[in-house]
Amino acid sequence: MKKIILVFSFLCLWALGATAAGVKQGSVKTLVDSCGFFPQMSPDGQWLLFSTTEGSNLVLKNLATGNQSIVSSTGYPGFDAIFGPDGKVYYVTQERKKNNLLYRTGHCYDPATGKDEIVLKPQHGQVQALHAASGVVINGERQVYTSAKQVGAYAYTRGATLYLVDATGVSRELRPVADSNGYLWASLSPDGTRVMFEAAAHGVVVCDLNGSVVAELGELLMPSWYNNDYIIAMSNAGNARLTGSRIWLIAVDGSLFKPITPKEERAVQPMTAGGKVVYAVQYGGEIKQLELDIQPATPASAVSGKGKVEKVRNVKSKKDVPRVFINPGHGGHDSDDRHIPTWVIAARDTIHYYESNSNLTKALALEEILHNKGYETALSRKTNKTEDDLDLFEIVTLAANSGADVFLSLHSNATGTENRVNFPLALYRGWDDRAVAEGSHELSDMIMHFAKLNELTVWSHKERSRGDWSFYPEWGYKVGLGVLRYNKLPGTLIEGSFHDYLPERERLLSDSYCWLDAWNYSLGLDEYFHNYSKFKNGVIAGVIRWEDILRQDDDMRLYGDDELKPLNGALLRLYTDRGVMVRAYTLDILDNGVFVFSNLPPMKYKIEVYYGNEDLYISTKVKAKKNVTVYKNFMMRKDMKPKKKKK
């Protein structure tokens, strides 16, 4: 990774004055004045295809006459549309069906006749329109459509896997980058000898047909072959507000790395066709066309490959089950990861809190919980390294590649001031009364309903479920959260609580508390998918505090029972009503007093609390319930005497 960054930085500096022989930059003209994104040019240069701001409309423009027409305005058609070599438009729509699952349909639209035809019936999971060597493939997990009997070879990604399909239809899995978070934007070179893709957390890579890397071209997004020797891509402006994005022309052999758009323009989403480059401008949405003078590429040839690659089949679930894409926010303890050192009295040490840590702990817990409930999941990261702090556009594209039904981005919040508060907040793309992606508002509300029921914390205010455009008006009209931008999945960013409220930060240092947050989110998902889960076990959780010892933090705002000091280091034992011990739990010494007993068969239990020299101080009865959290908080008094345990 460091090698790629160093090469990228060096080439950026070198490119400022570079002019390669045979490469000339021509005129630039505006094709669409505003609100146009994801542009595509027809092979003959006659038609421009683009999406309106939120992907709700797919628009076709005749560049000769200037006339525009809407190809489709249902099912978010604007993000996955392409032109085929036959000049027809191929695109994918989605709709919510059974239990809020998403089913995706493949379409073909003929600009010459205006006829729109369904060519791939609705199916659950990932469906994407792809360029092949001599045709188009609409690739689904259960069925595949091809625009001709022989469409030739193509490459595609599904989830975190890169596939190469040869002209005979044999599909092989390639593993060019072992530790990538996922592969994006895969395509074959025009001569069919190389595969280009973006490896999340690594950058743009070119490999041969056996998966051996032949070029690493730096941290770029949305790469597109210009010809066999050059590619076009957009630069990554860090963890992506895209304020510094530019379009670059790169020679695959490393001899040229040249910006072809002004830095201040914020150019994004480049595509190439017929020697021309089209791209959008963030945030206004102008679409521009830029001409280059470079020798044309050679025709495509048949793809074949040898080596240690595996023959694979399309993944087919036995039945359609909910799929959840989970994005643990931030990553790598970097500048955007709000680090707060915390002096913990009991530990007599400074404990370093990073939001990325608790976000990941929640995500991994949610993944395991959902698997136990029969869901399928995908994560944007499973480790916490610098390279895991993905560009927001990468995250959105990984979610689309996963074939997910919903998108969850897990975070915690902070006021950044002395005015400490603590409440759960979920944000979805759009206005308070109108979400962009259908289902987002309902998803957000349901998760917040279960998040607010958490009795281990103390809430200062009521939970909130809001549209990000309404919640952040000061950011600008329809700017909102970057990780929700261009996301057509029902989705929400969950700010589970406020980590700069000290008692809550101490709770977030507990893996058990993070697990409980994830469990509560799973209950919201169960509700969203119409009580999908048949999970039979439940959870008992609580906090133990001193009834007569106050916290010593005079300069801190506290609410309710958070004014009381939590218990550290106590031992809890869980017994069945027949006296059989089934679990034990030891409180940590991080001043949170949290305990969680998970995956408990529904029945009556007895909890005993031991403190000091393992003397019994408190005992109580509680009943676990199916797929429910039962809360049991305890109070300990300083003058409380131990009880004698019956033999």
The CATH number of the domain holding residue 98 is 2.120.10.60
Q: In which region does residue 593 sit, left (phi positive, over 0), alpha (psi from -120 to 50) or beta (all else)? A: left
Give the CA-trace dihedral at 128, 131, 132, 135, to 10 degrees: 100
ω into 617 cis (within 30 of 0): no
Same domain, 332 and 452: yes
Compute the distance between CA of residue 422 and CA of residue 276 in angstroms, rounded to an integer: 52
ω into 283 cis (within 30 of 0): yes
Q: Is residue 601 one of the residues assigned to a domain? A: yes
Helix, strand, coil % over all residues of the chain, rounded to 5 = 15, 40, 45
Cβ count near 259 (within 10 Å): 16
Same domain, 580 and 607: yes
Q: Sheet containing 144-146: give its strands across.
A: 127-132, 135-140, 144-146
The pLDDT score that the predictor gives to residue 22 is: 61
The pLDDT score that the predictor gives to residue 304 is: 57
Position with higher pLDDT, 2 vs 224:
224
Position with higher pLDDT, 135 vs 551:
135
User: What residue spans of 412-463 are helical by DSSP H?
Assistant: 440-451
What average pLDDT is seen over the chain? 89
Domain end (from 532, 553, 587):
532
Same domain, 505 and 611: no
Compute the distance between CA of residue 29 and CA of residue 31 in angstroms, rounded to an integer: 6
Q: Is residue 207 one of the residues assigned to a domain? A: no
Token pair of 223 as six digits: 């790469």
Tens-digit pLDDT profile for residues 398-431: 999 999 999 999 999 999 888 899 999 999 999 9
Q: Is residue 541 one of the residues assigned to a domain? A: yes
The pLDDT score that the predictor gives to residue 273 is: 86
Domain end (from 532, 561, 580):
532
Compute the distance between CA of residue 213 and CA of residue 207 in angstroms, rounded to an integer: 4
User: What residue spans of 59-203 are helical by DSSP H?
Assistant: none
Tens-digit pLDDT profile for residues 151-177: 999 999 987 889 999 998 899 999 999
* Domains contained in the chain, number: 3
Q: Identify the domain containing residue 397 by its residue range.
A: 321-532
Same domain, 392 and 504: yes
Query: What sign results for the dihedral spanned by CA atoms 112, 116, 117, 120?
Result: positive
The pLDDT score that the predictor gives to residue 296 is: 62
Q: What is the mean pLDDT of residues 8-30?
A: 56
Position with higher pLDDT, 27 vs 380:
380
Question: How far, rounded to the nearest angstrom, does the alpha carbon of residue 312 sit from its chain's CA centroid?
Answer: 26
Question: Tokens 């994801």 map to which residue?
Answer: 38
Compute the distance between CA of residue 200 and CA of residue 541 in angstroms, rounded to an integer: 37
- Tell me if 193 sits within 8 A of 209, measured CB to CB: yes
Q: In which region does residue 211 sit, left (phi positive, over 0), alpha (psi from -120 to 50) or beta (all else)? A: left
The pLDDT score that the predictor gives to residue 242 is: 41
Q: Is residue 192 one of the residues assigned to a domain? A: no
β-pairing, 203-208 vs 213-218, is antiparallel
Same domain, 445 and 512: yes
The pLDDT score that the predictor gives to residue 263 is: 85
- Tell me if 439 sits within 8 A of 490, measured CB to CB: yes
* Beta-bridge mates of residue 408: 326, 492
- Give SS3 for 402: coil
Compute the distance between CA of residue 206 and CA of residue 313 in angstroms, rounded to an integer: 24
Same domain, 515 and 605: no
H or E, element range at 502? helix 502-508
Q: Is residue 2 one of the residues assigned to a domain? A: no
Same domain, 552 and 480: no
Same domain, 61 and 108: yes
Poorest-pLDDT segment among 177-186, 460-469, 507-516: 177-186
At residue 600, what is the residue type?
Answer: L
Q: Is residue 404 one of the residues assigned to a domain? A: yes
Q: Is residue 165 one of the residues assigned to a domain? A: no
Question: What CATH number is attached to the domain comprising 502?
Answer: 3.40.630.40
Q: What is the mean pLDDT of residues 13-23?
A: 45
Counted residue by residue, the chain has a size of 647
Question: Tokens 């963890």 map to which residue?
Answer: 239
% of the chain with per-residue pLDDT over 70: 91
Residue 371 burial class via C-beta count within 10 angstroms: exposed 0-12, middle 13-18, buried 19 and up: exposed
Tens-digit pLDDT profile for residues 104-113: 999 999 999 9
The C-alpha angle with vertex 40 and arms to 141 and 430, in degrees rounded to 5, equals 75
pTM value is 0.92
Tens-digit pLDDT profile for residues 200-259: 988 999 999 999 999 999 889 999 999 999 999 998 754 444 446 899 999 999 889 999
Q: What single string gives the DSSP state of each residue in 19-51? A: --TT-EEEEEEEEESSS-EEEEE-TTS-EEEEE
Same domain, 68 and 112: yes
| Predicted confidence (pLDDT) at residue 307 exceeds the cutoff of 70 | no
Question: How far, rounded to the nearest angstrom, does the alpha carbon of residue 506 sit from its chain's CA centroid?
Answer: 27
Tens-digit pLDDT profile for residues 257-284: 999 999 888 899 999 988 899 999 987 7
% of the chain with per-residue pLDDT over 90: 72
At residue 317, what is the residue type?
Answer: S
Same domain, 459 and 552: no
Main-chain phi, psi angles of 28, to 5 degrees: -125, 135
- Give SS3 for 485: coil
Q: What is the mean pLDDT of residues 143-158?
A: 94
Report residue 9's pLDDT band, with 50, 70 and 90 as the boundaries.
very low
Same domain, 523 and 545: no
Compute the distance between CA of residue 187 and CA of residue 198 in angstroms, rounded to an integer: 10
Same domain, 446 and 331: yes
Compute the distance between CA of residue 514 and CA of residue 506 in angstroms, rounded to an integer: 11
Q: What is the mean pLDDT of residues 55-65?
A: 93
- Tell me if 211 sits within 8 A of 176, measured CB to CB: yes
Query: What sign results for the dihedral spanned by CA atoms 527, 528, 529, 530?
Result: positive
Q: Is residue 136 one of the residues assigned to a domain? A: yes
The pLDDT score that the predictor gives to residue 302 is: 53
Domain end (from 532, 547, 568):
532
Tens-digit pLDDT profile for residues 499-508: 999 999 999 9
H or E, element range at 195? strand 194-199
Report residue 603's pLDDT band, with 50, 70 and 90 as the boundaries.
very high
At residue 606, what is the residue type?
Answer: K
